[in-house]
């Protein structure tokens, strides 16, 4: 059984004070998480302070991006060893906003994944099709390409160190959620591609999160699906009450 993972991606929201207040509040509400992992991804400026606020709690800090080089003349970028040094444990890689607005190709995503793994950061590797791709019946081809190219040269023994996030681009921030059947269908496909590219044992251990307009009222039905093992939450992760309600999901 895969341990569920619920992650909030705050994108470009929250000051240091707002981030730390949220982190403390959340850690106080969930002093012990026996059957799920919870992650929050503040902006870089708040990462170190959030990591400190979460120390000793069962909630972990994540970054929203990284650069693949360890150091160098890359103005404005942040490396994996810098993230590890700040207390960060997870990193979101290949989010669709990075892909569409900031030029993250599958090849760059692959370099970022390998950099994260080198420094023992757990990647949350995002993939997903656009509306045009879904309407052109290309969803599975796109997902397979993103997986193959993204995981290029990553040894099979490292696959279980990843989390995957399936985020249909048309469902992000739009209020449109994929139906649970649509999501489960793609999640099952992802698990099959991982099995073909690597092996069944490793593929069976990878949490596959769903992302795109996850809310307190749809998390339960998503989490019932056999291949949905968590959620990557944007908008609803900015509000403590709604994120806490998502973290508390009941899939029994």
Binding residues for ligand PGA, rule: CB under 6 A, are 9, 167, 172-173, 211-214, 232-236
Q: Pick the catalytic residue: 95, 129, 187, 198?
A: 95
Q: Looking at beta carbons only, is 19 or 213 nearer to ligand PGA?
A: 213
Please report how close the Cβ of residue 245 comes to ligand PGA at its closest, in angstroms: 14
Query: Between the CA of residue 184 and those of 91, 125, 191, 222, what are the distances in Å?
Result: 24, 17, 10, 8
Please report how close the Cβ of residue 34 comes to ligand PGA at its closest, in angstroms: 26
Q: Looking at beta carbons only, is 122 or 198 nearer to ligand PGA?
A: 122
Please report how close the Cβ of residue 167 comes to ligand PGA at its closest, in angstroms: 6
Catalytic (active site) residue 167: yes
Q: Pick the catalytic residue: 97, 129, 133, 167?
A: 167
Q: Looking at beta carbons only, is 62 or 88 nearer to ligand PGA?
A: 62
Q: Looking at beta carbons only, is 212 or 216 nearer to ligand PGA?
A: 212
Please report how close the Cβ of residue 198 comes to ligand PGA at its closest, in angstroms: 25
Catalytic (active site) residue 95: yes
Q: Looking at beta carbons only, is 155 or 173 nearer to ligand PGA?
A: 173
Looking at beta carbons, which residue is closest to ligand PGA? 234
Q: Mapped to the 3 state alphabet, what secondary structure does the chain carry?
A: CCCCEEEEECCCCCCHHHHHHHHHHHHHHCCCCCCCEEEEECCHHHHHHHHHHHCCCCEEEEECCCECCCCCCCCCCCEHHHHHHCCCCEEEECCHHHHHHCCCCHHHHHHHHHHHHHCCCEEEEEECCCHHHHHCCCHHHHHHHHHHHHCCCCCHHHHHHCEEEECCHHHCCCCCCCCHHHHHHHHHHHHHHHHHHCCHHHHCCCCEEEECCCCHHHHHHHHHCCCCCEEEECHHHCCHHHHHHHHCCCCC
Please report how close the Cβ of residue 95 comes to ligand PGA at its closest, in angstroms: 6
Q: Which residues are catalytic?
A: 95, 167
């Amino acid at each position: 059984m895969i341990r569920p993972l619920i992650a909030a991606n705050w994108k470009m929201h929250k000051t240091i004070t707002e981030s730390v207040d949220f982190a403390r509040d959340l850690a106080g509400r969930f002093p012990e998480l026996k059957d799920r992992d919870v992650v929050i991804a503040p902006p870089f400026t708040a990462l170190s302070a959030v990591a400190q606020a979460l120390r000793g709690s069962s909630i972990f800090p994540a970054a929203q991006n990284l650069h693949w080089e360890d150091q160098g003349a890359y103005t404005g970028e942040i490396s994996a060893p810098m993230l590890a040094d700040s207390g960060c444990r997870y990193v979101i890689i290949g989010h669709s906003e990075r892909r569409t607005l900031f030029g993250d190709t599958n090849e760059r995503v692959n370099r970022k994944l390998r950099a994260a793994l080198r420094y023992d950061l757990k990647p949350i590797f995002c993939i997903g099709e656009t509306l045009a791709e879904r309407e052109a019946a290309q969803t599975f081809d796109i997902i397979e390409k993103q997986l193959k190219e993204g995981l290029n040269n990553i040894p099979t023994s490292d696959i279980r160190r990843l989390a995957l996030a399936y985020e249909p681009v048309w469902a992000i921030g739009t209020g449109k959620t994929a139906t649970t059947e649509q999501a489960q269908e793609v999640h099952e496909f992802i698990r099959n591609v991982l099995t073909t590219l690597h092996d069944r044992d490793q593929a069976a251990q990878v949490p596959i999160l769903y992302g795109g307009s996850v809310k307190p009222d749809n998390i339960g039905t998503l989490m019932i699906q056999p291949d949905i093992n968590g959620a990557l939450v944007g908008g609803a992760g900015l509000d403590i009450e709604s994120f806490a309600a998502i973290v508390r999901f009941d899939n029994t």
